[in-house]
């Protein structure tokens, strides 16, 4: 499987993402700068974490309106898988590829720690190597991860099984509605998540709980 990592100015987790994709998938992903006018023909597009455009206006708002996002939207409509982690998730919601919005953490604090994540839907292209209800460890590092959606939208993503990751009981670091940590679009080929699975893929990280996400996608 071929993958690409898209880099916007201000992102800082692209190296970790490239390492995870290469170590688990066996081949290095293409790294695409946001100004590039073409995106290689890949099966998986990843938008990593960081602080695109300094989080000016709203986290992810400026990157979401870039021409590169039009290309990504077009590929997503054609069924290409898209993964957004942390700022990548914020960018995907701002671009309208995923419903809802990520607001300032309820605590107002930047949260950098490990949380427990519950797999809320293992029947997706991203979570097939996990099982429903399984609890995994995963690091988070964000200031704006407080998921919010209007009542109707929330009901619809819950009813459609689009909530894929939830913070396990007592683990919600940001005040997210329904403990939501990651969601897909209705079609299931776009996933956004606040936690960083790319940072828990080998024993040197202290665990490998994030590995199955990439293994399922890439192999």
Partner 1 sequence: MKARVIVTLKNGVLDPQGKAIEGSLASLGFAGVDSVRQGKVFDVELSTADAVSAKKELESICEKLLANTVIENYAVEIIG
What residues act catalytically?
86, 196, 198
Residues in binding contact with partner 1, number by CB under 8 A: 19
Task: Pick the closer one to partner 1 by CB: 134 or 153.
Answer: 153
Site for partner 1 in 43-72 (CB under 8 A): 57-58, 61, 65
Task: Check residue 108 for interaction with partner 1 (CB under 8 A).
Answer: yes
Q: Closest approach of Cβ 59 to partner 1, in Å?
A: 10
State yes or no: residue 137 binds partner 1 (CB under 8 A).
no
Candidates 94-102, 119-127, 158-166, 196-204: pick the segment binding partner 1 (CB under 8 A). Answer: 94-102
By CB under 8 A, tell whether 207 contacts partner 1.
no
Q: How far is the CB of 174 from partner 1 (least distance, A)?
A: 10
Measure the CA–CA gap between 78 and 128, rounded to whole angstroms: 21
Q: Which of 27, 79, 107, 131 binds partner 1 (CB under 8 A)?
A: 107
By CB under 8 A, name the one of 4, 47, 101, 115 that touches partner 1: 101
Q: What is the largest CA-CA distance in the chain?
A: 44
If the CB atoms of residues 33 and 56 are measured against partner 1, the closer one turns out to be 56
- The single residue among 104, 129, 137, 205 that binds partner 1, judged by CB under 8 A, is 104
Is the Cβ–Cβ distance between 32 and 71 less than 8 Å? no
Is residue 103 near partner 1 by the rule CB under 8 A? yes
Q: Where are the beta strands (DSSP E) in the chain?
A: 3-7, 30-33, 44-47, 81-85, 101-103, 111-119, 135-142, 146-148, 163-167, 180-184, 190-193
List the alpha helices (DSSP H) in 26-111.
Answer: 61-64, 67-77, 87-94
Is 112 among the residues that bind partner 1 (CB under 8 A)?
no
- Parallel, antiparallel, or unpaired: how do β-strands 146-148 and 190-193 relate? unpaired
Tokens 């460890």, residue located: 137
Q: Could you tell me the two tokens for 190?
A: 């776009």
| Cα gap 178→118, rounded to integer Å | 12
CB under 8 A: which stretch of 40-48, 71-79, 100-108, 165-173 binds partner 1?
A: 100-108
Give the number of other Cβ atoms within 10 Å of residue 156's Cβ: 14
Is residue 34 near partner 1 by the rule CB under 8 A? Answer: no
């Amino acid at each position: 499987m071929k993958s690409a990592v898209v880099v916007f100015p201000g992102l800082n987790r692209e190296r970790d993402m490239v390492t995870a994709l290469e170590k688990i998938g066996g081949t290095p992903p293409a790294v695409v700068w946001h100004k590039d006018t073409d995106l290689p023909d890949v099966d998986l597009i990843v938008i990593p974490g960081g602080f695109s455009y300094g989080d000016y206006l709203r986290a992810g708002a400026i990157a979401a309106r870039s021409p590169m996002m039009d290309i990504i939207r077009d590929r997503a409509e054609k069924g290409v898988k898209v993964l957004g982690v942390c700022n990548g998730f914020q960018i995907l919601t701002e671009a309208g590829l995923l419903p809802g919005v990520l607001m300032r953490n309820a605590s107002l604090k930047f949260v950098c720690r490990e949380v427990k994540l519950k797999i809320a839907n293992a029947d997706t292209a991203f979570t097939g190597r996990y099982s429903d209800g399984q609890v995994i460890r995963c690091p988070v590092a964000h200031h704006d991860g407080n998921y919010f959606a209007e009542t109707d939208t929330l009901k619809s993503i819950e009813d459609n099984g689009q909530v894929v990751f939830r913070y396990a009981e007592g683990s919600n670091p940001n005040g997210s509605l329904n403990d939501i940590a990651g969601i897909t679009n209705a079609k299931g080929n776009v996933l956004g998540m606040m936690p960083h699975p790319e940072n828990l893929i080998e024993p040197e990280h202290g665990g490998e709980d994030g590995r199955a996400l990439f293994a399922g996608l890439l192999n």
